[in-house]
Amino acid sequence: MRPRYLSAHEVSEALREGNLSPEDYVYSIYENIRRLNNKLNAYISLRPVEVVLEEVKKSIKIGGKLSGALVAVKDNISTKGIRTTCASRMLENYVPPYDATVVELLKREGAVIIGKTNMDEFAMGSTTETSYFGPSRNPWNLSKVPGGSSGGSAVAISAYLATVSLGSDTGGSIRCPAAYTGIYGLKPTYGLVSRYGLVAYANSLEQIGPMARNTMDLALLLSVIASYDSRDATTIPGKRPDYYRTLGSFKMDNLRIGVVREMFGEGVDKRVAKTVLRVVDKLGFEVEEVSLPSLKYALPAYYVIAMSEASSNLARFDGVRYGFRAKIEGDWNTVYSMTRARGFGWEVKRRILLGTFALSAGYYEQYYLKALKIRRLIVEDFNRAFKDHGVLVGPTMPIPAFDIGEKIKDPLTLYMVDVETVPANLAGIPALSVPAGFVDSLPIGLQIMGPILSEPLLLNVSAIIEETTGLRNLLPPGA
């Protein structure tokens, strides 16, 4: 088997025991990148092969849970000495002086960063088309979107251009591209993973999370990055369980699965719904339909909150201390305005404007406050449903991957594809996307949601689904 096809847990062991040479592993992946990345556009920055090879050799000696494994990191996660652009002209040449906490943790366990992945600009989007560096492409069909905003991280994994990857998920950005490229992706409980060093888009909603080709790697990567962090006051105190070790040892005999009625409603492709339900029925657990009525307001509430937070978070990009600055003379207002007019793309500017509007005097109560009230109702709906059901399921995406260019000109129709993923972010609960099958030769994702801190349960359900479907380490044509 070619070394690039190995899973993270296999790579570390094989390297440590000398059954795999660092050269064979690293060259196997770089060769594939050379062959495919021009088409797929998964990476914004790729580190030189010699540097990476040296680091792999060193890290094998040191050891660790991920020793020697090549990890691709979304380009909104701060990496010391490696350009971190957020796929924006604004940060095109920004090289951070520090590592995000998750990157520190990866390095501590011997992982080696191979490069930084393409994404929607500042993580605003669901297709990777708003990137300043051009769209990524879906390895299953090059004319289709790979999903977003962590599209590059998903493509890198699904096309075997890295072994595992990190994404970030504000309203579905890990789960959407995971579903569209046939891999596994987890948005952790809010506060499980440190956001220190993640460039903020909407901080009350987002989490960094793992992306992988199978459940074991997903659990392994989560066990490395999940931790309390004194530098992120929103992280939950206390030790995290070993998600990797507990895999398979979980008692689930009386698990009841709730199928969320609202997630199979209007706008959901019938073939997608069928694919998901067929898998759920095969698992052998008790399955019941549940209703979460407030979910019909989730999408507008999400966009009001996300844009409001974005308008405030992105105010820091002023061209004064770092990042792009418009080359013009003038007073502060002029330079600030022109810097932002030229440095940000359309989607980012649209959201800053709408968010500023939603927070302005007179409209605050009408939009932002109302959205917060809906958020509370959604939390209550989930709490009620979790009293009787261990996990809830639905499709990850309402429709299969669509053509590049098909929706990007019409923001509202594009926002609609997030309808299944945003509820988990509003409620702060963990949600995991697993491959469920194919429609028109494109992968379809099944979404599992659980109560706060139920990651061990979600990962065990994911492992059972993986076992049932056999859909692991999928190989797109040409990869």
Cβ 138 to ligand GLN, closest distance in Å? Answer: 16
Cβ 376 to ligand GLN, closest distance in Å? Answer: 20
Cβ 300 to ligand GLN, closest distance in Å? Answer: 12
CA distance 52 to 56: 6
198: which residues sit within 8 A by CB, 6+ positions away? 76, 77, 78, 100, 102, 168, 206, 208
Q: Active-site residue among 131, 149, 158, 433?
A: 149
For the question of residue 74 being annotated catalytic, the response is yes
Which lies closer to ligand GLN via its Cβ, residue 170 or residue 294? Answer: 170
Binding-site ranges for ligand GLN (CB under 6 A): 123-126, 149, 169-173, 201, 306, 418
How many C-alpha atoms does 234 have within 13 Å on its Cβ side?
13
Buried b vs exposed e over 96-124: b needs ≥16 C-beta within 10 Å?
beebbbbbbbbbebbbbbbbbbbbbbbbb
Nearest Cα to Cα of residue 411 among 120, 212, 146:
120
Q: Are 272 and 400 spatial neighbours (Cβ–Cβ below 8 Å)?
A: yes
Work out the end-to-end distance of the chain between its first and last CA atoms, rounded to an integer number of angstroms.
13
Which lies closer to ligand GLN via its Cβ, residue 32 or residue 76? Answer: 76
CA 407 to chain centre: 20
For the question of residue 173 being annotated catalytic, the response is yes
Q: Is 397 helix (H, G, I), strand (E, B) or coil?
A: coil
Q: Phi and psi (nearest 5°) for 235?
A: -75, 145
Q: Are 11 and 67 spatial neighbours (Cβ–Cβ below 8 Å)?
A: no
Which lies closer to ligand GLN via its Cβ, residue 218 or residue 283? Answer: 218
Which lies closer to ligand GLN via its Cβ, residue 124 or residue 358? Answer: 124
CA distance 408 to 467: 36
Cβ 202 to ligand GLN, closest distance in Å? Answer: 7
Q: Are 290 and 280 spatial neighbours (Cβ–Cβ below 8 Å)?
A: no
Cβ 367 to ligand GLN, closest distance in Å? Answer: 16
Which lies closer to ligand GLN via its Cβ, residue 255 or residue 354? Answer: 354
Which lies closer to ligand GLN via its Cβ, residue 36 or residue 205? Answer: 205
Which lies closer to ligand GLN via its Cβ, residue 106 or residue 123? Answer: 123
- Single-letter amino acid code for the residue at 243: Y
Cβ 405 to ligand GLN, closest distance in Å? Answer: 17
How many Cβ atoms are within 10 Å of 372's Cβ, its own excluded?
15
How many Å is the Cα radius of gyration of the chain?
21
Cβ 1 to ligand GLN, closest distance in Å? Answer: 34
Q: Active-site residue among 65, 74, 107, 144?
A: 74
Cα–Cα distances (Å) from 291 to 6, 296, 403, 419, in that order, read: 41, 11, 32, 15
Q: Active-site residue among 45, 173, 308, 462?
A: 173
Chain residue whose CB lies nearest ligand GLN = 173
Catalytic site positions:
74, 149, 173
